Amino acid sequence: MKNASLFLFAFLLFGVAIAQVDRSVLPEPGPAPSIAFEEPATFTLDNGLQVFVVPNDKLPRIAFYLIVDRDPLFEGDKAGLTSFVGDMMMAGTQSRTKDELDEAVDFIGASLSASSTSVSASSLKKHQDKILELMTDVLYNPVFPEEELEKLRKQTLTSLASSKDSPDYLASVVSNAVVYGKDHPYGEPMTEETVANVSLEDVRQYYRTFFKPNISYLAMVGDIEEKEAKKIAETYFSSWEKGSVPEFAYAKPRLPEENKVALHDRSSAVQSVIQVAYPVEMDLTNPDFQATRVLNFILGEGFNSRLNGNLRETKGYTYGARSSFGSDKLIARFSANTSVRNAVTDSSVYEILYEIRNIAENGITEEELKTAKANLSGRFGRSLENPNTIATFAINTARYGLSDDFYSNYLKRLEALTVEEINAAARKYMKPENLYITVVGDGSEIKEGLARFGAVEMYSNKGDKVQEINLSDAATTAADVLDQYLEAIGGEAAASAIQSAKIEMSAEVQGTKLTLTALHDMEKQRMVQKVLMMGNEASKTILKDGAATVSAMGQSQTLTDEQYEDVKMASLWLIPELYYETMGYTLELDGATDIEGEAAYKLVVSNPTGGKVINYYSMDSGLKLKSENQISGETIYSDYKEFEGVRIPVSMTLKSPMIPVPLNSKVENLEINVSLSDQDFN
């Protein structure tokens, strides 16, 4: 009974203590803990390979990480070369085909991979010798089969074509080009042309040049001790021959003297992707390194950061806004990024610049510093749970010449940072007047608003500045452009004589062949399009009697009146330019631009419900080069052929958000003025 009374008394005291806790206030962080992780054993082989050993016997596993520490490489007209190297090394050796290599790795439940600057492997401890044999076979004896290069090239070109339809990818291409310059390793883009230029000898030469032990680091992590590690290193890696490796130096990118705006025009975009960036010198050895981590966390890294709080929580412009502050011994960059509606593009840029300027001029608060320290120290502590982190620390210490206590005193240095030191870093590194502002979006909607931040320069999807194109005749109108197009395809009379058409097209999506058929009845304003996949109907779109239905996967949907008008404007007619005036569409000649190196008129076509199609017509030939709209995306036209006196494109590339990769289609059959019945449109 006495014990029960004591228990009840203690319980009541505990309840009182709980009641007195103010849950609206974050608890005070404790003092920075001292980190006492065991320093990895390290030794160097005669060939210059530096080896680090991180014992961890919690699990019977072992991992090997080989890092090749070459200088950044400017690939020039062969940009994309380094992306092939790792896969080519894994494509077979002198004694094993690719399949045999993969089977050997899978048989022991291991992993093995390679890149242009690394080879990594892991397995159970009992399979240690086998995975080392496979790893060094890849390292020493790759055969680089020609057929594998062609396979990788095709995959890369497909991926590149798909990426070029991604506004985020395009924003990165343009931003990298303006921040670093296209003659810098970090600014050059990979293109179809550069990928096509990469030869098998280029891959072999890269391997022979850079895979040398004297610029490499090897970490062994897991169930292993130093004595065994030395034996392994001597057995498997001492025969690796060292050699001279070229070094490279590049001009350092500079800040712009004033803010500059780089715009890539995507008229079909409903959102703008914004990247505000500039180059900055920052690496692990910089005394301001940790201060800039804290500064960036407060500005734009955490969910409760200033940028996210402003653009997401207060303004409601975006789902998220973030910033990053890089670290690189060559050159780093600061950037702030978000995606917003076209209508608030310039407002969003203004708020980003406001937050950068505000933190530079007015600094941070003590409360913000406490929160940042707590988050960053927790992240660092959690990283130590992974033994690979210790190996990374050891390699970084050697690669970058860090002090021996750089990581062991990391939390102490973090905790010692003051508001004054963070504010000094903000004044030093935040550059609100020296920014590259990159935007990918609908130029006709956002260009004028962006001009408030500086002169707007146009850029292509390859990061090249697009020269402003003057209209060939100051008096040129939208009607003139249409007249030139109709004349170029054979004349208005010949085009108007086409009252119906049947088209059969073929395409391929990720190895699956598609057949597309379309019937157009211009006189009765009706159309049916079918997509067949392996002979089976995958989808059907029907426009007739002022309505549109779409059927797919056994389901049918009737489009709204607005959707019907948009589909009608984009797809109903074989030659829609003939009907723009009679349908009451509004035409606007929105200047001229560059389409894949060809000067083109930009014509905006709007229907009464607000839908738009943007067409681009060659200023030279008059032919239509491209169309964009927010429903189907982007269609590129090429290879015009004559049918009954009218030139019609027989090759089309569709880039749509509804398909994973660009759809390249080819007209296999086109019949003009065919007989059509009501049954054809059921």
pLDDT at 11: 34
pLDDT attached to residue 37: 63
Secondary element (H or E) of residue 3:
helix 2-20
Q: Bridge partners of 501?
A: 520, 672
Confidence label for 523 from pLDDT (cuts 50, 70 and 90): confident
Q: How much of the chain, in percent, has pLDDT values that exceed 70? A: 93
8 pLDDT exceeds 50? no
Please tell me the predicted confidence (pLDDT) of residue 40.
87
Beta carbons of 211 and 48 less than 8 angstroms apart: no
Alpha-carbon distances, residue 347 vs 113, 336, 450, 525, 611 (angstroms): 46, 15, 9, 43, 24
- pLDDT over 60 (residue 98): yes
Say how far apart CA 237 and CA 207 lie, in whole Å. 17
Is residue 24 pLDDT above 80, yes or no? no
Which pLDDT score is estimated for 115?
97
Residue 385 has pLDDT above 90, yes or no: no
What one-character DSSP code corresponds to residue 92? B
- How does DSSP classify residue 352? H
Instruction: List the structure tokens of 519.
Output: 């019937």
pLDDT at 89 exceeding the cut of 90: yes
* pLDDT score of 73: 97
Least confident window among 110-114, 197-201, 327-331, 598-602: 598-602
Largest CA distance in the chain: 109
Cα 543 to Cα 541: distance, rounded to the nearest angstrom: 7
- Does residue 3 surpass a pLDDT of 60? no
Of 661, 682, 681, give the one whose Cα is nearest residue 161: 661
Q: What's the pLDDT band for 7 if we cut at 50, 70, 90? A: very low
**C-alpha dihedral (409, 410, 415, 418), degrees to nearest 10:** 110
pLDDT at 29: 53
Instruction: Give Cβ neighbours of residue 166 (< 8 Å, ≥ 6 apart).
Output: none
Residue 448 Cα distances to 444, 451, 610, angstroms: 8, 5, 20
Determine the pLDDT at residue 19: 41
Q: Give mean pLDDT, residues 201-224.
A: 96
DSSP assignments along 396-454, one per residue: HHHHHT--TTTTTTHHHHHHH--HHHHHHHHHHH--TTS-EEEEEE-HHHHHHHHGGGS
What's the mean pLDDT in 138-162?
A: 93
Is pLDDT of 511 > 90? no
User: Which has the minimum average pLDDT: 536-545, 597-606, 624-633?
Assistant: 624-633
| CA separation for the pair 575, 585 (Å, rounded) | 15
Predicted pLDDT of residue 554? 79
Average pLDDT, the chain: 90
413 neighbors 221 (Cβ within 8 angstroms)? no
pLDDT attached to residue 14: 38
Beta bridge partners, 636, equal 626, 653
Among candidate residues 215, 559, 276, the one with its CA nearest the CA of residue 431: 276
Query: Which of these ranges, 359-368, 392-401, 473-482, 572-581, has the smallest mean pLDDT?
Result: 473-482
**What 3-state DSSP class applies to 72?**
coil
pLDDT band at 111 (very low <50, low <70, confident <90, very high): very high
Q: Which residues contact 593 (CB under 8 A, 6 or more apart)?
A: 265, 458, 466, 469, 599, 600, 602, 616
pLDDT mean over 501-517: 86
3-state secondary structure 138-182: HHHCECCCHHHHHHHHHHHHHHHHHHCCCHHHHHHHHHHHHHHCC
Identify whether the C-beta of residue 466 lies closer than 8 Å to the C-beta of residue 296.
no
Count how many Cα atoms sit within 13 Å of the Cα of residue 28 in the half-sphere of its side chain.
2
pLDDT at position 27 is: 56
494-518: b or e for each residue (b if 16 or more CB lie within 10 Å)?
bbeebebbbbebebeeeeeebbbbb
The whole-number average pLDDT for the span 473-489 is 89
Least confident of 57-66, 554-563, 573-582: 554-563
Per residue in 51-67, pLDDT (tens digit) is: 999 998 888 999 999 99
| Tokens encoding 466 | 């697009």
Angstrom distance (rounded) from CA 322 to CA 305: 8
| Per-residue tokens: 247 | 């070094």
C-beta atoms surrounding 221 within 10 Å: 25
Q: If we measure between CA atoms, which residue out of 91, 114, 297, 105 comes closest to residue 200?
A: 91
Q: What is the pLDDT of residues 541-558, one digit of tens each?
A: 999 988 989 988 778 899
CA 529 to chain centre: 33
Q: Where are the alpha helices (DSSP H) in 164-298?
A: 167-180, 192-197, 200-210, 226-237, 289-296
What mean pLDDT comes out for the span 149-171?
Answer: 89
User: Of the given ranges (100-114, 178-192, 484-498, 579-593), which has the lowest mean pLDDT?
Assistant: 579-593
* Residue 587 Cα to chain centre, angstroms: 35
Q: How far apart are CA 331 and CA 282, in angstroms?
A: 7
Report pLDDT digits (tens) over 219-265. 999 999 999 999 999 999 999 999 999 999 999 999 999 999 999 98
CA neighbours closer than 13 Å in the CB half-sphere of residue 137: 21
Q: What structural domains and CATH numbers belong to the chain?
A: 41-164+189-237 (3.30.830.10), 260-385+403-466 (3.30.830.10), 478-681 (2.50.20.10)
Mean per-residue pLDDT for 332-341? 97
Q: Which of 677, 266, 260 is nearest to 451 (CA)?
A: 260
The structure tokens listed for 185 are 């390793």
Q: What pLDDT score was predicted for residue 91?
A: 96
Pick from 523, 569, 532: which is nearest to 548 by CA?
A: 569
pLDDT at residue 631, rounded to an integer: 72
| Helix, strand, coil share (%) of the chain residues, nearest 5 | 40, 30, 35
Does the structure show a pLDDT above 50 at 290? yes
Q: What is the pLDDT of residue 591?
A: 83
Tokens of 638: 């090429």
Average pLDDT for residues 419-432, to the nearest whole number? 97
pLDDT tens-digit map of 292-313? 999 999 999 988 999 999 999 9
Rounded Cα distance, 59 and 42, in Å: 22
